Structure 1
Amino acid sequence: MTALNGLRILVPESRELDLFAAMLEEAGAATLRCPLVRILPLADTGEADAFIDRSIAGEFQDIVLLTGEGLRHLVNYAGSRKEAFVAGLGRMRKIVRGPKPARVLRELGLVPDISAPQPTSGSVLEALVTGPLGGRTIAVQLYPGDGAARLVEGLAEHGAVVTTITPYRYASDADTAQVLAAIEAVIARRIGLVAFTASPQIDRMIAVAAQHERKTALLEALADTPVAAVGPVVEASLARYGISPSLSPNASFHMKPLVRAIIGWWQR
């Protein structure tokens, strides 16, 4: 397949770097692979273990799943309690932010009860506040950082009793030399497209550039280098740095639609 011949793409994917890059290369692109963050299990699983026990005991009426990765980690922590934990999830109303947690639920033999219209925390909140929340016990599976703080605050403001769990952590210690080399390639305008698939990638790239006094040069380069964003969450993260993406999927915000969007943009 030669749909992307002549296009060199910086692929700062984390967990699924090789899969995403391979999809682009199969379409004819040349890729520069740069893992920016690593996802790690918790160093101390005490809080997660307590959360699993409470889920098994039926303490939550609803569970909001923001990431597939988070649910996978909870299932792994459950160990011998997996069957009981999955049964507990089955008794809850399950709300998903996007396709990844929905996919993991299906792998467990479960299905979402509510899917947010857009894969954002704000959209999850909008979907839930259409019904009464006063006194409702809601578990919210978060991701590292404070990107979903407004969701938690909004649920509490509507009277819900909210419990949160963040089941994994980011290790932003990917090879700094490799990250810096990718930054210099962008600054030198040797990259035809940067394809961001998660907000931590953006923060990590900007942080490394700042540490080496290259932040201004990087932001200037990103202002006139085409940037692809996998969806609204990444678009919002880019906007914090004054970066406007050139393309994004219209729906189904994950890698395959992003590849199709890149092909459509390149072939215009």
Structure 2
Amino acid sequence: MKNKTIAILENRAGEQLADLVRKYGGTPFSAPALAEIPDIDPILIGHLVNDWQENVPDIFIFQTGVGVKALFATTDALGITEQFQQILANAKVVVRGPKPTAVLRSYKVRIDLTASEPYTTAEVLALLDVSPISGKHVVVQRYGDTNWELQKALEARGARVTEIATYRWSLPENTQPLVDLMDALDANAIDMVCFTSASQVYNFFAVAERLGRSQALQSGLNRSMVASIGPVCTVALKKFGIKVDVEPNPPKLGPFINAINSRFA
């Protein structure tokens, strides 16, 4: 990617991604499209843990490292982490990917089932389809938005679902960098745009829609090259008519950068 301008819509790992772009000789163009807003209710968590000591749920599904960390930070503050750990010890623990796995292991939580790559809802459901879940109580740690695909699939299989909100996704307070990126795309000044979540796609087009620039954004992205971190993100891009030039396997940051660099090479 030497001498190429690479647009980065990532927020949390944005600087890490920018450093990798620089390492390969590229120029990063930062335009964060996502903000993570804390959205956890300590009173609700306290009530749930108290109730679960008597009525232990059958299955817990943990989807993100950030969410698991926020959940345990709350139980730590409430002084009920030990009770929560005991509840998890008496239930089946299902994990979507390596990040929630790492946090759970740091709290010495036994993990029963881990989704395989690329760590999407399909892999989680494949784990659960091994045995019937009809009538089971399933607790789902939500990420930025409700995972409606997962929730509807669980309910269709007869499960009773409780969702734990830990954070929510929002537009960044300052959306000017996204407007600047649209201008740069219009001027053909961007070689590749990197999307690392589906929500970045929706937020970018939400800003464009507000400015009456949706069609121009679609055209600009399709004139440039587009990199998607994985299948869920790719589906979102295709909904807006965007072609995807790069998608790594597995969907992780290191392979993502390697795939981008290889595409230019």
Question: Structure 1 residues 49 and 257, CA, compared in 2 at 3 Å: closer, same or farther?
Answer: farther
Paired position in structure 1 for 2:179? 180
What's the offset of the Cα at 1:56? 5.2
What's the offset of the Cα at 1:21? 1.4
What's the offset of the Cα at 1:193? 0.8
Match for 1:210: what amino acid?
E
Paired position in structure 2 for 1:133? 133
| TM-score, L = length of structure 1 | 0.89
Which runs of no fewer than 5 residues in structure 1 stay unpaired? none
Match for 2:14: what amino acid?
L
Percent of pairs identical after alignment? 27
Does structure 2 conserve the Cα–Cα contact (< 8 Å) formed by 1:223 and 1:244?
yes
Q: Matches of residues 207-226 of structure 1 in structure 2 within 5 Å? A: 207-226=206-225
Paired position in structure 2 for 1:68? 65
Paired position in structure 1 for 2:227? 228
Question: Structure 1 residues 124 and 209, CA, compared in 2 at 3 Å: closer, same or farther?
Answer: same
Aligned mates of 1:112, 1:241 — CA distance in 2: 37
Match for 2:252: what amino acid?
H
Q: Matches of residues 1-268 of structure 1 in structure 2 within 5 Å? A: 4-42=1-39, 44-55=41-52, 59-78=56-75, 79=77, 80-110=79-109, 112-117=111-116, 118-146=118-146, 148-251=147-250, 253-267=251-265
What's the offset of the Cα at 1:43? 6.7
Aligned mates of 1:104, 1:24 — CA distance in 2: 28
Q: SS in structure 2 opposite 1:102?
A: helix
Aligned mates of 1:10, 1:51 — CA distance in 2: 42
Aligned mates of 2:184, 2:49 — CA distance in 1: 45
Does structure 1 conserve the Cα–Cα contact (< 8 Å) formed by 2:36 and 2:144?
no
Does structure 1 conserve the Cα–Cα contact (< 8 Å) formed by 2:56 and 2:90?
no
Of stretches 119-128 and 106-115 in structure 1, the one that deviates more from structure 2 is 106-115
Aligned mates of 1:26, 1:114 — CA distance in 2: 37
Question: Structure 1 residues 60 and 43, CA, compared in 2 at 3 Å: closer, same or farther?
Answer: closer
Match for 1:62: what amino acid?
I
Does structure 2 conserve the Cα–Cα contact (< 8 Å) formed by 1:183 and 1:205?
no
Does structure 1 conserve the Cα–Cα contact (< 8 Å) formed by 2:145 and 2:168?
no
What's the offset of the Cα at 1:113? 2.0
Aligned mates of 1:167, 1:193 — CA distance in 2: 32
What's the offset of the Cα at 1:168? 0.8
| TM-score, L = length of structure 2 | 0.90
What's the offset of the Cα at 1:105? 2.0
Aligned mates of 1:112, 1:234 — CA distance in 2: 27
Aligned mates of 1:19, 1:93 — CA distance in 2: 35
Match for 2:184: what amino acid?
A
What's the offset of the Cα at 1:128? 0.8
Q: Deviations over 1:64-98 (max 9, x none)?
A: 11222211111111122233323433433221222
